C-alpha cells in the first residue's frame, strides 16, 4: 500500500485496472486507492507484468507498505517477482475520447454511471466549468498545476487550460496573493488556492488590507473579484499549526464574503457563485470532507446564493445550527436524539457572511431552543455571535439558554487521542440537546 499523503497510515483498494498477467509500462495506472483525504490513482513505477493481486477490490484498512500485488520487473536480470507497495504519487489525468468536454465528463470517465459526487469532484468541476465559461478566470497556488493539487482538487485542469491559467506558484503566500489581488484590480478573476488556510496567515495583510477594504476606500470605484479557497480547520494529526478554523476570523471582516459548505452540491453551487461575485470571497473547505460519503451528494447544477441557509432536517423540539464539518457531527447527534424521541431541526448555515438570520429566528420561534455547533475555538466563535443576535431579536421565544458546542480552547494536539479530545464530538452535542430540553 503506497503512502500517498503525509498523514496516511492505511488505505483501501477501490478498483484494480489490471489483472494477473497484464503487462504494464512505467506510468500506467494500476489501481485506484482511497486515502484519508481522497481517492487517488496509483501508477506503476517501471515496466513489467502483474504476477498476482493480493487484495480484492473493496478491501480497506490496509496498512501503508503492506504488499498489495506481485510484480515481475522485466528489467530485473533475475526476473524475480517484486511486491507493489510503494511508488510514485503522481497521477494521470482521466481523458475523454471526445474532445468536446461537457458536464465535466473528462473527469468522470471511469465513473460514468455514478450519480453521486464527492466534495473534491464538485469543487474541481465548478472550477473547470467557470474557466470554460469565462477566460478571465484562472487558478494559482502551490502545486495546483503539475502536481494537480495537494488534494487532487485541480486534477486535469492543467491539461485542459494550460500553464497560463493554471499556475504553480513559489512558496510565498504573501507574494502570490498580492499578485492575484493586482490581477483582480486589472479585471481578471483569480482563484487562489491555499494548501491550507493556516498558510494564509502569511498573506493576511493582502487579504484584509488590500482585498477586503479597497471597494470601500475607493468610494466604490474599484472592485476586487477574487476567491480564496482551500482546506480550513482540523484534518488528521497535522498538529496546531495546520489545524486552526479561521471561519470566525474572516467572518468578522467587513468587505469579505465567507462561505463554508458541507455537501458536494453546496460546494459546487457556492463556488460558482463565488467566482462570479465581484467581491473578495473566502471559500472554506474541509480536508476530511473531500471524499467523505456523508458529504457526497447528487449535483443539481444550480447557483447557490450567499446569505441563504438550508434547513436539512425539520423538527419541533430544538434548533441545531452548524456549518462545514460541524454538520457531519450534528447529523450523528440527531440520530442519538431520535432514539430519545427528541425532534431536532438542523440548519446548515453554508454562508457565514452574510448570515441568514431570518431562517434562524423563524426556526427558534418554532422550537424555542437553540444549540450552535462548530469546530473553532469557543472564544469569539460564530456561535458566540449568533447567541448575542438571538438574545437581541428573539429572546422572548427562548425556553432555555442558547448553548455553543465548539472545539476546546487549546492549540490542536498532535497525538491522536488528544486531538479527538480537543474536537467537538456528536456525544457532546447530544448532551447539550438533552440539557436544553431538560432530559439530562
Could you list the active site residues?
A: 173, 242
What are the contacts of 267-270 at 24+ separation with CB within 8 A? 267/119, 267/122, 267/123, 267/126, 268/117, 268/122, 268/123, 268/125, 268/126, 268/299, 268/301, 269/126, 269/300, 269/301, 269/302, 269/303, 269/304, 270/304, 270/306, 270/350, 270/351
Question: Quick one: which H or E segment has residue 50?
Answer: strand 48-53
d(CA 313, CA 319): 10
The answer to whether 1 touches 42, Cβ cutoff 8 Å, is no
Angle between helices 325-339 and 426-436 (to 10 degrees): 50
Residues in the chain: 440
d(CA 258, CA 321): 17
Instruction: Count the Cβ atoms, other than its own, within 10 Å of residue 37.
Output: 22
Angle at the Cα of 285 from the Cα atoms of 201 and 199, rounded to 5 degrees: 20
d(CA 257, CA 248): 12
d(CA 245, CA 429): 19
Residue whose C-alpha is closest to residue 349's, from 382, 316, 388: 382
* Residue 161: φ, ψ to 5°: -105, -15
For the record, the C-alpha cell of 301 comes out as 447544477
Beta-strand runs (E) in 56-198 = 62-63, 69-73, 81-84, 137-141, 166-168, 189-193
Question: Quick one: which H or E segment has residue 327?
Answer: helix 325-339
Instruction: Count the Cβ atoms, other than its own, within 10 Å of residue 210.
Output: 21
d(CA 26, CA 18): 13
Residue whose C-alpha is closest to residue 64's, from 12, 108, 119: 12
d(CA 418, CA 334): 25
Torsion of CA 38, 102, 90, 36, to 10 degrees: 0
Burial class (CB in 10 A: 0-12, 13-18, 19+), 151: buried
Amino acid at each position: 500500500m503506497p503512502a500517498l499523503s503525509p498523514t496516511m497510515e492505511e488505505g483501501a483498494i477501490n478498483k484494480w485496472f489490471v489483472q494477473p498477467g497484464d503487462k504494464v509500462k512505467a506510468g500506467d495506472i494500476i489501481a485506484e486507492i482511497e486515502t484519508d483525504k481522497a481517492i487517488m490513482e496509483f501508477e506503476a513505477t517501471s515496466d513489467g507484468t502483474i504476477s498476482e493481486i493480493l487484495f480484492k477490490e473493496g478491501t480497506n484498512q490496509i496498512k501503508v507498505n503492506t504488499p498489495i500485488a506481485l510484480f515481475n520487473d522485466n528489467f530485473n536480470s533475475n526476473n524475480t517477482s517484486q511486491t507493489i507497495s510503494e511508488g510514485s504519487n503522481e497521477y494521470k489525468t482521466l481523458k475523454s475520447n471526445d474532445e468536446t468536454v461537457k458536464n465535466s465528463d473528462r473527469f468522470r470517465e471511469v465513473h460514468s454511471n455514478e450519480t453521486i459526487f464527492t466534495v473534491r469532484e464538485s469543487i474541481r468541476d465548478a472550477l473547470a466549468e467557470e474557466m470554460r465559461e469565462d477566460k478571465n478566470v484562472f487558478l494559482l497556488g502551490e502545486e495546483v498545476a503539475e502536481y494537480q493539487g495537494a488534494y487532487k482538487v485541480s486534477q486535469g485542469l492543467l491539461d485542459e487550460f494550460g500553464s497560463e491559467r493554471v499556475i504553480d506558484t513559489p512558496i510565498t503566500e504573501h507574494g502570490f496573493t498580492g499578485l492575484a489581488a493586482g490581477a483582480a484590480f486589472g479585471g481578471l478573476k483569480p482563484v487562489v488556492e491555499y494548501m491550507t488556510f493556516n498558510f494564509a496567515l502569511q498573506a493576511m495583510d493582502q487579504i484584509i488590507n488590500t482585498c477586503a477594504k479597497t471597494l470601500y476606500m475607493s468610494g466604490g470605484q474599484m472592485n476586487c473579484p477574487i476567491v480564496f479557497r482551500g482546506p480550513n480547520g482540523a484534518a488528521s494529526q497535522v498538529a496546531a499549526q495546520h489545524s486552526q478554523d479561521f471561519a470566525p476570523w474572516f467572518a468578522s471582516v467587513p468587505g469579505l464574503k465567507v462561505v463554508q459548505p458541507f455537501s458536494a452540491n453546496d460546494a459546487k453551487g457556492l463556488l460558482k457563485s463565488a467566482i462570479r461575485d465581484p467581491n473578495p470571497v473566502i471559500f472554506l473547505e474541509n480536508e476530511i470532507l473531500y471524499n467523505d460519503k456523508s458529504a457526497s451528494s447528487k449535483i443539481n447544477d444550480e447557483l447557490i446564493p450567499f446569505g441563504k441557509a438550508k434547513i436539512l432536517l425539520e423538527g419541533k423540539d430544538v434548533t441545531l445550527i452548524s456549518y462545514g464539518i460541524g454538520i457531519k457531527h450534528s447529523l450523528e447527534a440527531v440520530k442519538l436524539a431520535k432514539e430519545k424521541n427528541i425532534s431536532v431541526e438542523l440548519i446548515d448555515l453554508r454562508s457565514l457572511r452574510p448570515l441568514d438570520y431570518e431562517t434562524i429566528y423563524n426556526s427558534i420561534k418554532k422550537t424555542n431552543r437553540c444549540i450552535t455547533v462548530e469546530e473553532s475555538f469557543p472564544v469569539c466563535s460564530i456561535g458566540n455571535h449568533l447567541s448575542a443576535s438571538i438574545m437581541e431579536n428573539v429572546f422572548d421565544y427562548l425556553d432555555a439558554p442558547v448553548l455553543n458546542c465548539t472545539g476546546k480552547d487549546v492549540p490542536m494536539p498532535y497525538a491522536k487521542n488528544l486531538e479527538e479530545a480537543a474536537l467537538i464530538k456528536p456525544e457532546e452535542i447530544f448532551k447539550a440537546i438533552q440539557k436544553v430540553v431538560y432530559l439530562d
